[in-house]
Structure 1
Amino acid sequence: MAPHRREMSQNPRKEIISLHKKGEDYKKTGKGLHISQNTVAKVIQKFKKDGSATILQRRPGRPRMLTSRQECLLMRRVEENHHGSSLQLAKAVESQTGVTVSCDTIQRTLQRNGMAHAEKDEVYRDYILWSDETKITVFGTNGFKTVWRRKGEDFKEKCMVPTVKHGGGSPYVGKHWICFYFHCG
């Protein structure tokens, strides 16, 4: 299999054709544009054959798993529920469209459409007063809860994880509280 080469853009192609029309030979054209003589010859050959040097053929490579319509469907699902995991979203897409996609495909699609996990940079963590206490959760999990959102959607109600004060009527376990601050810099 031939090695993959970078495709020439439209501007050098147009320059090659204009120089060819002025009567410039392949060697001078190639040296002037820093392109090989063979490349110049192939561009001119295509121009003579088709009357144009534009690229019309479809590019090689694997087509995307989701069509633009299916991507819109996925984005609507995320807008309805920002807390869904990529596995849940993949199952929802499969049930609605019949297309089986991986979690990685879902994550790439969301990122391509401007979504990202709500994350803070490391400098932000340098200036936090950390505290902890035991708690009882009525719903959700004690672990991390990921939220898919666009930039600027930090405080939208759909993107927030609800909490219940004092455990929402669950049995009282007792409270142990600790607080610490660390800044290196």
Structure 2
Amino acid sequence: MAKTWNSGEPSHEWPAGRPKLPQERRDNSSERPQKTPRTTSKELQASLASIKVSVHDSTIRKRLGKNGLHGRFPRRKPLLSKKNIKTRLNFAKKHLNDCQDFWENTLWTDETKVALFGRCVSRYIWRKSNTAFQKKNIIPTVKYGGGSVMVWGCFAASGPGRLAVIDGTMNSTVYQKILKENVRPSVRQLKLKRSWVLQQDNDPKHTSKSTSEWLKKNKMKTLEGLL
């Protein structure tokens, strides 16, 4: 106070809170997660400790946030080989100039497995301490996953079409039966134009000789070139 009174200048005040990282260290702490996103704040903390820089992992997370890096669950996507990537790129180039009407009259189809009990994904919940086993805070499980069922489904720009349960093992004969019973009814239900096309992936059952002949016989034009 005496210094302030005599000089007329404000006295120095120590900043509140934990000391900030030096600028150079702050920059370096943000570079690694950008190159390797799976790096954790604890790993960064250990890395900084190895060069005698002590910093709390919460400080590291705040610094990453200020640099636009936020913790998120990674998105899942199919693993694509170079051949897959090339095929998809060629497909995109081939259909780059197709009009909207073409896509609106495409019937997209696929098969998938549906779990009969529960979801095979991680979920977050908000709960208070000591309430972990309250009914609202748990996800019930059954032995062996509760089973699953394979289904075939389709959709177009105008909405979903039919859904068919696949009984037993899927082969070309079963696949053709599903197409026979579900494709044209879905086309009528979705009010597709006569120029509609059928999309299917390159599963061997879809591209077998017997299926190809069946599609030709039943005058079903397919969208070629997509995996």
Q: TM-score, normalised by structure 2?
A: 0.29
| Larger strand proportion of the pair | 2
